[in-house]
Chain A
Amino acid sequence: MGKKKNKKVIRPWCWYCERDFEDEKVLIQHQKAKHFKCPHCNKKLNTAGGMVVHVAQVHKETIDTVPNAIKGRESVDVEIFGMEGIPQQDAMAHAQSLENNQPSKKMRTEETSTELSSEEIKKQLAQHQAMMQNNPQGNPTFPFPAFPTAQQSMPSLMPHQYSQFYQRPGVPPAPTFQPGPFRPNLLPGQTLPGQPWRPTTPVGTSLYGTAPYGVPIPSPNNLQSTIFPNRPVNNMYQQNVPIPTTSTTVPDSNAQQESANNQQNAQKSASKVVLVYNDNEVSMEEKRAELEKYKVSEEQLSQVHAIDLFSQSRTTNLKGRVGVMG
């Protein structure tokens, strides 16, 4: 820990989704794949502007949001390439959040403990609420960075339970804030950090989950994006933005709805694919050849002869033309 303390190297991070990377090359790859990819043909462009032009020219459509971007950063007008072009205030906020929020290795592990029993969720909520009450002004040196993180990650996984208990009025506030309750959250059979997350959360790798997020968050709604479940609440305290406890339920139900919608859409697009020709057993030509017209009968044989004659005359006709051409 000691040697890291003074290290203030900021890893390259993505302005659109607040994720950080090993080096800028990887970051640029990430941006091309996640944020600058044409939704129509999957072509990867270099900048948001490039994507806009591509979509307009090639697909004749307009695109006004950057895919997979967190709210407030979807604008295609901001020219971002890797670390270049990041608005200064955001860069500073990011740096500050890094400073305040260096996660230990242990915390990173714990952060992935996302499957909480409802009882544990209750406990955490109680802690959270108590904390809210005790620190309405926010506390920049809030000592348990991983705590809100894990809590924040809940809505995407168990939105139902989360909202249910959150709306319950009489939750007793817990007396102390300790990372202790997190231990039991590591359920048996839980996998290593990151792995269980990858399929559902395309952007936030939990390995770096707590470290980079230092964005000033305009409204509590932002917290609820299901795509970014790892975004920690504790930034709120650092930014001195107290969360009104009641408002949390509203966006949460939004998130719930959103994920439900996503599921529906996924199912729709999956089931609606239609094979124009769907007889896997017999080819088009075999079917066509079955048509009476193509089956030779006595009558049709004579027709074939007629065609022969016709074609012969046509051949000579064509030959005549070739002669003219030559």
Chain B
Amino acid sequence: MTYNRNQQGMLSENPKDYEVPQPPTDGISGLSFCPTNDYLAVSSWDNNVRIYETNQQVGSAVGKSIYAHEKPALCVTWSKDGLKVFSGGADNAGRCFDITTSQTIQIAAHDQPIKCIKYVDQVNLVATGSWDKTIKYWDTRSQTPALTVNLPERCYAMDVNYPLLVVGTAERQVQIYNLNNPSTSYKTTQSPLKWQTRCIACFTSGNGYAIGSIEGRVGIQYIEEKENQTSFSFKCHREGNNVFSVNTISFHPIYGTFSTAGSDGTFNFWDKDSKQRLKGFNSVGAPISATAFNRNGTIFAYAASYDWSKGYLQYATSTKNAIYLHSVKEDDVKPKPAKKR
């Protein structure tokens, strides 16, 4: 058995996916699958980071561990060996949770909340991006950062695919780093999109990145100049005249296709190379604030919870905080040959 969904044979389906029990009690800020097994780490505005064990064969998920920040947890990731969870929070702290010992230690400190956290296994460092306009690289055994890099603006989005690290900041700045030389940016550019950067995800091939903005648009950007002319952007997550934010982009680890999810509560699978939408899903009834593929791309986890896109007023009425597990159909994420145009 897998995570059930109804079959309609439509281009857009109403997702009926497995809902993870005991979800966070406030907005879900981040989802991350363990690289070695199907553990799912979830950071939430209720300060906690939860770890669930998912089992696709049985079609279930169960809570395993929980630890807390002093303020909302904003991001979460795993170490490559799958034994440690790293999270950053509004308490300006980066924390490390050891799965085997259930011990939590603080590994990073910033002057402002940590919005993004990534683990760079090749150099065994944790990278944290913060609203204090820095990225810091941390050796988990040390109190002081191994390296501090200044950003032009507040860090909003960050992704790494060694040696590529891409940071999106406020004011639509994009900094591209080659981690062989992380102290200076390899390239400093403006976002190809006209509105605030919301999310960034590196291609699995490592030669570019996808960037999403609050104006329902995704840019596909290649790093090198010679490929740069093939960069393009497309509109998505729009309904009538309403334009929703693209909250999160996740690349499929095997096929290199990717998902986008937005404040409109829908998610889509795309193939950037053939410039096609592979699959669309109807709204889940609440904004999708975070998504993640598991290590082999068979499970797609998405969090339906309020993302603040309509401000405080909406917050009072939206109580939904749910994590859904979607069994990925291979046909939905497999690249398709480009259509004749």
**Contact check: which of B68, B241, B263 meets A311 at CB < 8 Å?**
B68
Q: Is A10 part of the contact surface with B, judged by Cβ < 8 Å?
A: no
**Chain A residue at minimum C-beta to C-beta distance from B310:** A276
Q: Is A301 part of the contact surface with B, judged by Cβ < 8 Å?
A: yes
Assess A283 versus B243: contact at CB under 8 Å? Given A291-B312, A294-B72, A322-B64.
Answer: no
Residues of A within 8 A of B90 (CB): 289, 294
Min CB–CB distance A316 → chain B (angstroms): 10
Q: Is A92 part of the contact surface with B, judged by Cβ < 8 Å?
A: no
| Contact size range, A | 35 or more
- For the complex, give the distance between the alpha carbons of A274 and B240 in Å: 9
Interface mask (B239-258 → A, CB under 8 Å = 1, otherwise 0): 00111110000000000000
Min CB–CB distance A262 → chain B (angstroms): 18
Min CB–CB distance A144 → chain B (angstroms): 40
Interface mask (A34-53 → B, CB under 8 Å = 1, otherwise 0): 00000001001000000000
The answer to whether A296 touches B71 (Cβ under 8 A) is yes
- For the complex, give the distance between the alpha carbons of A256 and B213 in Å: 40
The answer to whether A311 touches B10 (Cβ under 8 A) is no
Q: In the complex, which of the residues A58, A285, A308, A319 has the most CB atoms of chain B within 10 Å of its own CB atom?
A: A285
Q: Is A325 part of the contact surface with B, judged by Cβ < 8 Å?
A: yes
Q: Is A187 part of the contact surface with B, judged by Cβ < 8 Å?
A: no
Residues of A within 8 A of B245 (CB): 276-277, 284
The answer to whether A322 touches B62 (Cβ under 8 A) is yes
Residues of A within 8 A of B327 (CB): none
**Chain A residue at minimum C-beta to C-beta distance from B196:** A280
- For the complex, give the distance between the alpha carbons of A281 and B170 in Å: 7
- For the complex, give the distance between the alpha carbons of A285 and B11 in Å: 32
- For the complex, give the distance between the alpha carbons of A285 and B259 in Å: 21
- For the complex, give the distance between the alpha carbons of A288 and B89 in Å: 13
The answer to whether A278 touches B65 (Cβ under 8 A) is no
B281-323 residues at the A interface, CB under 8 angstroms: 307-312
Q: Is B53 part of the contact surface with A, judged by Cβ < 8 Å?
A: yes
The answer to whether A287 touches B339 (Cβ under 8 A) is no
Q: Is A307 part of the contact surface with B, judged by Cβ < 8 Å?
A: yes
| Contact size range, B | 35 or more
Min CB–CB distance B25 → chain A (angstroms): 9
Assess A304 versus B63: contact at CB under 8 Å? Given A274-B243, A281-B170, A289-B113.
Answer: no
Residues of A within 8 A of B66 (CB): 311, 314-315, 318
The answer to whether A277 touches B310 (Cβ under 8 A) is yes
Residues of B within 8 A of A274 (CB): 241-243
- For the complex, give the distance between the alpha carbons of A276 and B243 in Å: 6
- For the complex, give the distance between the alpha carbons of A281 and B60 in Å: 41
**Contact check: which of B65, B72, B198 meets A318 at CB < 8 Å?**
B65
Min CB–CB distance A325 → chain B (angstroms): 6
**Contact check: which of A272, A280, A314 meets B214 at CB < 8 Å?**
A280
Q: In the complex, which of the residues A33, A289, A296, A307 has the most CB atoms of chain B within 10 Å of its own CB atom?
A: A289
Q: Is B232 part of the contact surface with A, judged by Cβ < 8 Å?
A: no
- For the complex, give the distance between the alpha carbons of A296 and B242 in Å: 35
The answer to whether B131 touches A286 (Cβ under 8 A) is yes
**Chain B residue at minimum C-beta to C-beta distance from A282:** B170
Interface mask (B106-132 → A, CB under 8 Å = 1, otherwise 0): 000000010100000000000000010
Residues of A within 8 A of B150 (CB): none
Residues of B within 8 A of A304 (CB): 47, 68, 70
Q: Is B79 part of the contact surface with A, judged by Cβ < 8 Å?
A: no
Min CB–CB distance B193 → chain A (angstroms): 11
Min CB–CB distance B61 → chain A (angstroms): 11
Q: Is B136 part of the contact surface with A, judged by Cβ < 8 Å?
A: no
The answer to whether A275 touches B102 (Cβ under 8 A) is no
Q: Is B12 part of the contact surface with A, judged by Cβ < 8 Å?
A: yes
Min CB–CB distance A77 → chain B (angstroms): 24
Residues of A within 8 A of B215 (CB): 275
Assess A296 versus B310: contact at CB under 8 Å? Given A58-B11, A280-B214, A283-B170.
Answer: no
The answer to whether A58 touches B27 (Cβ under 8 A) is no
Min CB–CB distance B337 → chain A (angstroms): 15
Residues of A within 8 A of B263 (CB): 276-277
A238-291 residues at the B interface, CB under 8 angstroms: 269, 272-289, 291
Residues of A within 8 A of B264 (CB): 276
Q: Is B162 part of the contact surface with A, judged by Cβ < 8 Å?
A: no
The answer to whether A308 touches B68 (Cβ under 8 A) is yes
The answer to whether B29 touches A285 (Cβ under 8 A) is yes
Residues of B within 8 A of A301 (CB): 70
Residues of B within 8 A of A105 (CB): none
**Contact check: which of B46, B74, B214, B340 meets A275 at CB < 8 Å?**
B214
- For the complex, give the distance between the alpha carbons of A58 and B115 in Å: 38
Q: Is B140 part of the contact surface with A, judged by Cβ < 8 Å?
A: no
A-B contact pairs, 12 of them (CB 8 A): A33-B341, A58-B10, A272-B241, A280-B195, A283-B156, A283-B198, A285-B308, A289-B113, A314-B22, A314-B66, A318-B65, A322-B64
- Beyond contacts A284-B309, A286-B154, A296-B71: 7 other A-B pairs, Cβ-Cβ < 8 A, are A58-B11, A269-B241, A276-B309, A285-B115, A294-B72, A318-B63, A325-B62
